[in-house]
Amino acid sequence: MAWFKRKTQGILTSRDEQIDVPEGQWEKCPKCSHILHRRELAEHARVCPKCGHHFPMTSLDYFRLIFDEGRFTLHDQHLTSADPLEFVDRKPYTVRLEEARRQTGLNEAAQRATGTVGGHRISAAALDFRFIGGSMGSVVGEIVARAIKTAYTERIPLLIISQSGGARMMEGILSLMQMAKTAALLTRLDEARLPYISLMTNPTTGGVTASFAMLGDINLAEPGALIGFAGPRVIRQAVGQDLPPGFQSAEFLREHGFLDDIVDRRQLRRYLIHLLDLLLESGAPLPETPSSS
């Protein structure tokens, strides 16, 4: 062996210390850089056990987390968006829809379900950010509306889990009118004295924040969630000033009275059960829904 060839390895660089892992089985926490196996992450409700960072979670996984024994009934899965405006930006809207369906296995950015939480039957809707940013178009608005109507008709509590970039620009005014549509139906729910719990996750912005997400009788959020109307960058450009530290974070909003509480996802099911017990007075029936005049 030549004298200049090392028999032992010298100083390790950061690249030398990197560990190759099978692709798709591990995730790196963006907050603490801890490497987590997906199975371990799933066991902790997709929350980093080291630092508490909340990873994104799908709409169906939220349902599995909160409903008793993970059992629930899905509704309106056949609803799909049309393209009445024949909208095209970098690609046709119809192509975006098809790509989102193929990548997520969902027909739309919202799912709705009924089931029991701690023995209490509820109507629930959940948005899914994987599907075109969880944006609210005509079908998402209709699914949320039907979740509200089910709560009203059956006289049961309503839970909506928001995770959205806002109104879906590809549907123009048809998207924006969903804000008024859902808000009006929530007014009927309020008049019927039926409880509505809103859970805002990261991110909840735009037209979703400006409509049903902020209209809960009890407004909750996950730790660190970005919640607001326009994004921080847009606001900074508009006002020409630096924003307060943590502006639009769940913690900032709770401190300033916009949220009732921040709930760790690992405690969410237990928290909801306790909340429903209080709201329903340990099983007392809800008041009769007044007939519409």
From the annotation, which residues make up the binding site?
Answer: 29, 32, 48, 51
What stretches of the chain show up as alpha helix (H) in DSSP? Answer: 38-43, 59-66, 93-104, 138-154, 172-191, 206-209, 232-239, 250-255, 268-279
Nearest of 231, 201, 196 to residue 215 by alpha carbon:
196
* 61: phi then psi, degrees, rounded to nearest 5: -65, -35
User: Which residues face 243 on adjacent strands?
Assistant: none
239 vs 203: CA distance, rounded Å: 22
* Token reading at 191: 């008049």
204 close to 164: Cβ distance less than 8 angstroms: yes
Q: Which residue ranges are tagged as binding site for Zn(2+)? A: 29, 32, 48, 51
Question: Do residues 183 and 146 touch, judged by C-beta distance below 8 A?
Answer: no
